[in-house]
Chain A
């Protein structure tokens, strides 16, 4: 994962991407117990988001450094890394407000717990609900914080459904 952080920082400094933040299960582990996952998911802002081949420059940059494509991802060491251009105001905000963590001496931007929870809420699969519960249990985010952010991103109904299904004990 350190190589993923180094690669992303290089991409930023060379201008291939404008910004990035790790999200998904690998980011979740910053706040919770370890969880099983196969991929590293990264939100990215690219200079020309309207291009059809929006990820081409990223793929070329990685290929030049010996990181080959693998399906929908790029393999960086043991991690198939998926680059996801920011696609909603929520994901844009999550990336912009990400925190810079230290990963074995390398700065690594990681989405905050509350944004991880609300992105999970917006996706709404069983494993996403498990992520929200795990973040709540870890104390890294509160129900109130999730509710407020969900409301700002038009996800109040989804949050109410979650609260009904998983009431606070």
Chain B
């Protein structure tokens, strides 16, 4: 468990280093993931044989 905790803490520290990037670089990073975000946020369609389930 402590290994996992250490791993997560290391990962969090690494992610925070992105804060030091320049603002234009951070914006370009956001631009690169925009299409994925758009698809994730797109309204889901229900499957005809199972209205409880949705598909992309």
A1 interface hit (Cβ, 8 Å): yes
A78 proximity list for chain B (CB < 8 A):
31, 34
Q: Is the CB of A36 within 8 A of B33?
A: yes
A34 within 8 A of B: yes
Q: Which of B22-36 contact A (CB under 8 A)?
A: 23-24, 26-27, 29-31, 33-34
**Residues A34 and B21 in contact, CB atoms below 8 Å apart:** yes
| A36 neighbours in B (Cβ, 8 Å) | 30, 33-34, 37
* Residue in A closest to B25 when the chains form the complex, CB atoms: A34
In the complex where A78-B34, A138-B19 touch, is A34 in contact with B24 (Cβ < 8 A)?
no
Would A29 and B31 count as touching, CB distance under 8 A?
Answer: no
CB–CB A101/B23 < 8 A: yes
What residues on A are CB-neighbors of B38 within 8 Å? 38
Residue of A2, A25, A34, A101 contacting most chain B CB atoms (<10 Å) = A34
Which residues on B sit within 8 Å (CB–CB) of A34? 18, 21, 26-27, 29-30
Within 8 Å by CB of B27, from A26, A33, A138, lies A26
Residue with the greatest number of chain B CB neighbours at <10 A, chosen from A1, A29, A101, A138: A29
B23 and A30 within 8 A (CB): yes
Residue numbers in A under 8 Å from B55 (CB-CB)? none
In the complex, how many angstroms separate the beta carbon of A50 from the nearest chain B beta carbon?
Answer: 34
A87 at interface (Cβ–Cβ under 8 A)? no
Contact residues of A with B, CB < 8 Å?
1-2, 25-26, 29-30, 32-38, 78-79, 101, 103-104, 138
Closest 6 CB pairs of A and B: A34-B26, A29-B26, A34-B29, A30-B23, A36-B37, A1-B27
Contacts A36-B34, A36-B37, A79-B31 known; 15 new A-B pairs at CB < 8 A? A1-B24, A2-B24, A26-B30, A29-B23, A29-B26, A32-B19, A33-B19, A35-B30, A36-B33, A37-B34, A38-B38, A78-B34, A103-B23, A104-B24, A138-B19
